[in-house]
Amino acid sequence: MAVAKPFTPAKLVVGVIAGETPIFEKTEGALVALYGPIDLRSGFFPFDATDYYDNEMGPNLRRRFLSFVNLVAPDELAAIKLRTNALEDELGRDQPARRRAVNIDPGIMTPAALIMGTAKDFAHRVPLTRGIYAHLELLFRKDEVRFLDWTYPDFRRSEYGVFFLEVRAVYLEQLRRRRRGPGTG
């Protein structure tokens, strides 16, 4: 019989989709208040692989990824997604009727994968709790990103892969430092 062990802490990575720079800034400030300091920010990527959010959020959307210094327990992903959904509502209160200001997609990075939280069910998604599912987005093998049949089209961009590998390098160093213990550099 296998013995259950505590999960390895995960790296919190959040994708933010919006059209206006002030919304990105406001969202980032709110996320820092919730989850602590950011260690890496991607550049802004055009969110043009789909028009899924155009009716709700308008045209010319961009996506930016943030990763956070503080590691999280992997089993917190559902609670984080529920909190970021509430934050989307809070940030959208100033928007015109039926407009959404921002889309916030939290995920966790493990040494082997990037797993996003979602409220949308699909055959390959794993139910977590309270209507939130785990969506296995990417796999990591050595210094390469591996896509899955269901990897979102924009996540297949090489620029995303470069950023996620940078985040992973920082994360793996964090794990090495934790294993060495405090005061060992």
In the beta sheet, which residues pair with residue 136?
Answer: 115
Q: Tokens in use for 180?
A: 């060495």
pLDDT digits (tens, 9 = 90+) for 26-82: 999 999 999 999 999 999 999 998 888 888 898 899 999 999 999 999 999 999 999
pLDDT digits (tens, 9 = 90+) for 80-108: 999 999 999 999 887 766 578 999 999 99
Q: How far is CA 29 from CA 34, 67, 180, 183, in A?
A: 9, 13, 32, 31
Per-residue confidence (pLDDT) for residue 127, from 0 to 100: 96
Per-residue confidence (pLDDT) for residue 34, from 0 to 100: 98
d(CA 157, CA 119): 24
- What structural domains does the chain harbor? 10-180 (3.30.70.260)
Mean per-residue pLDDT of the chain: 94
Q: Tokens in use for 58?
A: 């308008």
Query: Token match 């069910």: residue?
Result: 121
- In one-letter notation, the amino acid at residue 105 is D
